[in-house]
Chains A and B, each alone.
Chain A
Amino acid sequence: DAGVIQSPRHEVTEMGQEVTLRCKPISGHDYLFWYRQTMMRGLELLIYFNNNVPIDDSGMPEDRFSAKMPNASFSTLKIQPSEPRDSAVYFCASSRTNTEAFFGQGTRLTVV
């Protein structure tokens, strides 16, 4: 298996623009997680899904953030409009129930 695949690896955008991050989980995994990592706040759980259904989105910072999982092999995290404080590394991870999570390589987002 190729592991969790995220795209793009790097994204630079201007403030106010829409940004869409993509994730392909490992086949057969029933949980998918979106995390954000910054120096100041560390690793934060934004939202996670079970069988494509959002279970907990309490970590989503505000309404500008939204996440979808239309099927078992694809998820998106969208920021609209983007702001400089959204600059961070965004990780997607997937797991089977009650087992370790596997992380993607992350998307480094820079909003200027």
Chain B
Amino acid sequence: GNSVTQMEGPVTLSEEAFLTINCTYTATGYPSLFWYVQYPGEGLQLLLKATKADDKGSNKGFEATYRKETTSFHLEKGSVQVSDSAVYFCAPLYNFNKFYFGSGTKLNVKP
């Protein structure tokens, strides 16, 4: 069936470090792919998306590329800030408009 596997956290980084959060999905069809971010006490917000193979989504310095050959959509940022501390969710959107959310990866950025 459809599923998504996300890198376990928490991930702790120093400010200005490079970030990678891994995400892989099952290759059932060609889902649209999303990364969401959840700040403490808030709902999930869309961070970026990609709708077809080789598309690169980007927002606020974050990037992720739709890799069909490896069924991956890894989230990256070149230089994290304390304000990036949050929980990040990978979410493929399969047929019937059903989102599958990963387990979430908590990111802690220290000054």
Contact = CB atoms under 8 A, between A and B. Distances in A.
A42 B101 contact: yes
A31 interface: yes
A95 interface: yes
Contacts of A105: 42-43
B59 to A, nearest CB: 12
A55 B104 CA distance: 25
A104 B43 CA distance: 6
Contacts of A56: 96, 98
Contact of B49 (A48, A55, A100, A103): A100
A21 to B, nearest CB: 14
Contact of B46 (A42, A50, A100): A100
Interface residues of A, number: 23
Interface in A61-112: 91, 93, 95, 97-98, 100-106
A43 interface: yes
Interface in B29-60: 32, 34, 36, 42-46, 49
Given A42-B104, A98-B97, 5 more contacts: A42-B103, A55-B97, A56-B98, A100-B46, A101-B99
